[in-house]
């Protein structure tokens, strides 16, 4: 685990492997960002010129190393790009600081300590740098022999010191504590997404949640196959019917006390999705261990809310199953009786996420929370619509959808509001059941949202986050985002809980 401190030490006298400074694109060329004045002075004010000579432009994602000036205890100065220099009287945006700090941490993997001399105007800036640096220092090497070697040169950056902060100031301390709790839980979600499906199945996922609940004083209830059968959870049971690993429904709850606002988060937790009888073709199933990313995000958000002692009640529902083909698997054409009592004709067993979510949403509705938010790697259609880095937001309340969009943008998670066109509902008509699990092919992501809406309790505000694009990064790392599991939606859910606790969401 990467250590994090605030430091008032001068950059020159700090023992570290590198000093991290920010650079930006100015109107007249490269500029050194605030926070690095002492470092620039040690280069006689020529640090920008030196870096320009080496090809640095200040663009986001850029990292340039130069030898440290004479008299510095750190041997290297690492300059990271912040993008365009802010206008006069404006400051660097929090997301630019997060990304630059993440780039620095990734670049310095294997180092023992780095001092971050990035722009810190207030406590929020220090929190953003801490968050980006800690997320950028993530690695998943549990299954590599090299990961067991303490001398491994690619181990994460071991210690981060943020310069320019106020270690004794309550606001600064709170931001650092928040960053530590949030990133530890987000990185736990990344670990779960990255864990191979032969080690992470519904039962073992439930065991991880149970252990965390015990550690942090949360209430937890795990429904196994027998309990699911007794309760009539036909959607979850139908999806898990083909697997040797039985499904689970996990309820994990953080309570701030009676009379507080109550948020219910529901996560899709398909620990491996083969498509079932509607089998996915080769090329589409190799990364399907990530189909439980929604449940991982919900789990992480609830634990983070508890660690931050937020003044809001948060309940997480993890709908866990493995979707496999076998003689006992649900077939296309089968009809499932859901927990809500509705019947669903299964036209495609690879549209399974909506089935487990429907049961969990219906159950969550019984507690009449102030709002339900479900999170799921639900449809390829959403990836086609929004790409690999942006999740879609659908809701039965336009104001709530707007609020979630604002929250997502605030924390640096690209998202976009999507509609729920009523005319698409008819495409899910079934001659046999109340509804089919498939509708029109065009607008498939919206159809999935409309299906879920059918299972939301009357009068309950609800939103659906389709994170199919950003949940798993198959490309190279960027900013503070690694290859593999990203922890998408965790920060949005936590900030939503924080804003609800503050009374900002009604």
Task: Indicate which residues carry an active-site annotation.
Answer: 280, 354
Long-range contacts of 433-437 (CB under 8 A, 24+ apart): 433/335, 433/342, 433/343, 433/344, 433/345, 434/342, 434/343, 434/344, 435/342, 435/343, 435/344, 435/345, 436/344, 436/345, 436/346, 436/347, 437/344, 437/345, 437/346, 437/347, 437/348, 437/351, 437/354, 437/355
SS3 per-residue string spanning 436-466: ECCCCCCCHHHHHHHHHHCCCCCCCEEEEEE
Cα gap 273→242, rounded to integer Å: 11
Q: Which of 103, 174, 176, 173 is nearest to 137 (CA)?
A: 103
User: Other C-beta atoms within 10 Å of 415: how many?
Assistant: 26
Would the CA dihedral through 122, 128, 131, 135 be positive or negative?
negative
Contact 109, 154 (CB under 8 A): yes
SS (H, E, C) 41-67: HHCCCCHHHHHHHCCCCCCCCCEEEEE
Number of H helices, E strands in the chain: 14, 20
The HSE-up count of residue 269 (CA atoms within 13 Å, CB side) is 34
Residue 368 phi/psi, 5-degree rounding, is 45, 60
Rg (CA), the chain: 24
CA dihedral sign, ordered 400, 401, 402, 405: positive
CB atoms within 10 A of CB 454: 18
- Within 8 A by CB and 6+ apart from 309, the residues are 256
Q: 């939301």: which residue's tokens?
A: 456
Please, are residues 81 and 62 in contact by the beta-carbon 8 Å criterion? yes
Q: Name the strand (E) or helix (H) holding 104.
A: helix 94-107
Distance, in Å, from the CA atom of 246 to the CA atom of 271, rounded to the nearest integer, reads 11
Phi and psi angles of residue 371, each rounded to the nearest 5 degrees, phi first: -160, 150
């Amino acid at each position: 685990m990467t250590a994090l401190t605030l430091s008032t030490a001068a950059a020159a006298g700090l023992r570290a492997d590198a000093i991290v400074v920010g650079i930006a694109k100015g109107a007249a060329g490269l500029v050194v960002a605030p926070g690095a004045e002492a470092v620039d002075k040690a280069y006689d004010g020529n640090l920008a010129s030196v870096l320009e000579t080496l090809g640095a432009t200040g663009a986001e994602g850029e990292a340039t190393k130069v030898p440290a000036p004479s008299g510095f205890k750190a041997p290297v100065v690492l300059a990271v790009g912040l993008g365009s220099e802010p206008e006069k009287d404006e400051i660097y945006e929090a997301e630019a600081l997060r990304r630059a700090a993440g780039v620095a941490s990734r670049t310095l993997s294997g180092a023992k300590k780095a001092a971050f001399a990035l722009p810190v105007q207030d406590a929020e800036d220090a929190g953003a740098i801490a968050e980006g640096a800690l997320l950028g220092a993530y690695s998943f090497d549990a299954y590599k022999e090299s990961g067991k070697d303490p001398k491994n040169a690619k181990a994460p950056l071991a210690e981060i010191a943020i310069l320019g902060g106020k270690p004794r100031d309550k606001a600064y301390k709170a931001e650092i504590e928040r960053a530590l709790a949030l990133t530890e839980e987000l990185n736990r979600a990344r670990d779960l997404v990255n864990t191979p499906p032969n080690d992470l199945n519904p039962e073992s996922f439930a065991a991880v949640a149970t252990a965390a609940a015990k550690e942090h004083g949360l209430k937890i209830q795990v429904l196994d196959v027998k309990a699911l059968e007794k309760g009539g959870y036909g959607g979850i049971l139908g999806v898990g019917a083909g697997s040797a690993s039985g499904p689970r429904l996990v309820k994990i709850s953080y309570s701030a006390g009676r009379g507080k606002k109550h948020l219910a988060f529901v996560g899709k937790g398909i620990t491996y999705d083969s498509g079932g009888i509607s089998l996915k073709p080769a090329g589409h199933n190799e990364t399907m261990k990530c189909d439980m990313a929604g449940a991982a995000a919900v789990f992480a958000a609830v634990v983070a809310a508890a660690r931050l002692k937020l003044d809001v009640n948060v309940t997480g529902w993890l709908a866990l199953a493995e979707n496999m083909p076998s003689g006992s698997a649900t077939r296309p054409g089968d009809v499932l009786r859901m927990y809500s009592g509705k019947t669903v004709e299964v036209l495609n067993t690879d549209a399974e996420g909506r089935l487990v979510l429907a049961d969990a949403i219906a159950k969550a509705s019984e507690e009449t929370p102030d709002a339900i938010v479900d999170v799921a790697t639900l449809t390829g259609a959403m990836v086609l619509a929004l790409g690999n880095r942006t999740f879609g937001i659908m809701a039965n309340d336009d104001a709530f959808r707007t609020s979630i969009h604002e929250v997502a943008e605030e924390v640096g998670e690209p998202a976009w509001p999507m509609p729920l066109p009523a005319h698409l509902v008819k495409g899910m008509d079934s001659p046999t059941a109340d509804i089919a699990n498939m509708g029109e092919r065009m607008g498939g992501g919206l159809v999935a949202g409309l299906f879920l809406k059918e299972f939301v309790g009357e009068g309950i505000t609800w939103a659906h986050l389709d994170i199919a694009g950003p949940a798993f990064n198959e490309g190279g790392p960027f900013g503070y985002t690694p290859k593999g599991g990203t922890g998408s939606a965790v920060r949005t859910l936590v900030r939503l809980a924080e804003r609800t606790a503050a009374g900002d969401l009604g």
